[in-house]
Chains A and B, each alone.
Chain A
Amino acid sequence: MAEAIRIQVNGEQRGCRADATVGDLLRELAIKTERVAVELNLEILDRKDFDHRSLKQGDRVEILSFIGGGAPVDAQDKGRGFVHAE
């Protein structure tokens, strides 16, 4: 078994296998790859690369999808934030 590493997924710390790919992570989280976007350390990945991009210690992964929204972005909608690009 490969050594465990720590990564950040959607702002939360979690462990994962040292040889895991982005595709492995999505499968572990039971997230279907259709209609999600994945950002690895601020780089948006092509869906076809999910299984080729391996994760390393300290990586920051953002997994996004579509939710209800329209004209309004009212005060309750501030929970938008992922970490801004510095």
Chain B
Amino acid sequence: MQNDRLIIAGRELTSRLWVGTGKYKDFAETKKAIEVSGADVVTVAVRRVNITDRSKENLLDYLDPKKYTILPNTAGCYNVEDAVRYARLARAAGVSDMIKLEVLGDERTLFPDTAGLIEAARILVKEGFIVLPYTNDDPIVAQKLVDIGCPAVMPLAAPIGSGLGIRNPYNLKIIMEMIKVPIIVDAGVGTASDAALAMELGADAVLMNTAIAGAQDPIAMAEAMKYAVYAGRLAYKAGRIPRKLYATASSPIEGML
């Protein structure tokens, strides 16, 4: 798959597995898991600097921005105003114009507020951001986000951190067929087969955090996810056989006694 490139807003990305950097034991584990996963896009959050304890290390001391595409998010924002504010702060902090836009609607499910998402995306696209929106598995909303100018969309597989896997493969499949920009399945992956399934459905990439960071052995799970995404992509490109109810013999009848 040497020529199987993923290009978003003119940027070429080598990995189809994207990873978050939250919930790890420490930065050393974060770094190791990301290295093993082979991911080259990593998401980060924007938060207050600890001004009372300056001894705390900075995550970006562990992640070389030359090696990784650092994708800041607006995680934790529950309205348009906050999401736009965090996006602007992320840009001011200076890694890139790319933002993973989250406008959450509810603390229990962390489902996106898609009306707020569309509004925030519109504002940020006008300001020149490369907006990658975290959205529901709703094809109509995905299309609206593309119409606004989002160069990719990131529908969820299941609620963030739930590990439930792909709850609505048919909706995701419709999104992949309808939408002409890259689709990154984001959130809800639990284990390797979930990631492989997302890729088999035709996702261009998968973003996950908890499935790796929360595993009993995050480093081993990072490796499992790397192969799952790779295998799923290969299978998608190879073109699977149709499902049939009855058997079709693999061995010829001819020449039997």
> How distant is A10 from chain B, measured CB to nearest CB, in Å?
5
| Given known A37-B46, A37-B92, A65-B93, contact A70–B73 (CB-CB < 8 A) | yes
A58 to B58, CA, bound (A): 29
Quick check: B94 and A34 within 8 Å, CB to CB? Answer: yes
The total number of A-B Cβ pairs within 8 Å is 146
> How distant is A51 from chain B, measured CB to nearest CB, in Å?
16
A contacts, CB < 8 Å to B: 9-12, 29-31, 34-39, 44-47, 62-75, 77-78, 80, 82, 84-85
Given A70-B207, A77-B22, output 6 extra A-B contacts at Cβ < 8 Å: A37-B89, A37-B92, A64-B49, A66-B90, A70-B20, A71-B161
Quick check: A67 and B210 within 8 Å, CB to CB? Answer: no
Quick check: A37 and B93 within 8 Å, CB to CB? Answer: yes
Contacts of A78 in B (CB 8 A): 76
A21 to B107, CA, bound (A): 39
Quick check: A66 and B48 within 8 Å, CB to CB? Answer: no
Contacts of B46 in A (CB 8 A): 37, 64-67
Contacts of B232 in A (CB 8 A): none
Contact residue among B24, B49, B58, B208 (Cβ-Cβ distance under 8 Å from A63): B49
Interface extent on B, as a size class? Answer: 35 or more
Q: Which of A63, A64, A69 is the most central at the interface, judged by chain B CB atoms within 10 Å of its CB?
A: A69
Quick check: A35 and B19 within 8 Å, CB to CB? Answer: no
Contacts of B52 in A (CB 8 A): 12
Quick check: A71 and B92 within 8 Å, CB to CB? Answer: no
Quick check: A68 and B24 within 8 Å, CB to CB? Answer: yes
Complex interface: stretch among B5-13, B80-88, B115-123: B80-88
- The contact string, 1 if C-beta is below 8 Å from chain A, for chain B 70-102, is 101101100001100100111011110000001
Contacts of B225 in A (CB 8 A): none
Quick check: A68 and B44 within 8 Å, CB to CB? Answer: yes
Quick check: B94 and A72 within 8 Å, CB to CB? Answer: no
| Given known A64-B48, A85-B81, contact A74–B92 (CB-CB < 8 A) | no
